[in-house]
Amino acid sequence: MAIGKIKEALEPLDLVAAVTCTSSYSGGLHLYFPFKRSQRSWQIASAVSTLLTNKGFKLRGGQLEVFPNTKKYVKTGSPSLFNAHRLPLQDPGSKLLNDDLEPVYSSPERFVELWQRCQAQNLMTAKKVAQVIKQQKRQRVFISEKPTSSSMTWRRRSTWGGPVRA
């Protein structure tokens, strides 16, 4: 199932354990990857989105979403907000799930217990997040030394791999 591939994709960040629950009666799944140290939300959003995209996942609202999500930087005017998120166990249909995705006893106390257990296993650091972001930037921009004239040519390559001239 895709959940295993999602967890595999996030291993470079040392995010290896998740609390899994349904969001509501709709059957949607939420995976929470708690970690101990505070991190910059935009960096996590960028790193997680990059790793998932590199593994072939397509991020789409209502299908596969990342929270916090990447958002546009706004210099002036109204600030750009993160997407809204339904909190776990708030809806009557929200249930904790085991590794086989079967409902298990659900309470706020049980959620916190699972959260803390996962938090102890997820050793993400700002350094690892920065490494993923740096790799992402390296994949997007490269220098071609093919002689077109006497100067070097800059090109941008989007993450899907097709060249786009700057």
d(CA 7, CA 82): 23
Phi and psi torsions of 147, nearest 5°: -70, 105
pLDDT value for 116: 97
d(CA 53, CA 110): 32
- 3-state class of 25 per DSSP? coil
Tens digits of pLDDT across the chain (166 residues)? 789 999 999 999 999 999 999 988 888 899 999 999 899 888 999 999 999 999 999 998 888 988 877 766 667 777 777 766 777 888 788 999 999 999 999 999 999 999 999 999 999 999 999 999 998 766 654 444 444 333 333 333 333 333 433 3
Task: Write down the H helix ranges in 32-150.
Answer: 41-54, 108-121, 126-140
pLDDT value for 136: 77
Closest CA to 46 of 54, 35, 37: 54
pLDDT value for 56: 95
d(CA 110, CA 27): 20
pLDDT value for 138: 64
Q: Are 99 and 87 in contact (CB under 8 A)?
A: no
Q: pTM of the predicted model, to two decimals?
A: 0.75
d(CA 145, CA 138): 16
Cβ-based neighbours of 112, under 8 Å, separated by 6 or more: none
Q: Between β-strands 29-32 and 141-144, what pairing exists: parallel, antiparallel or unpaired?
A: unpaired
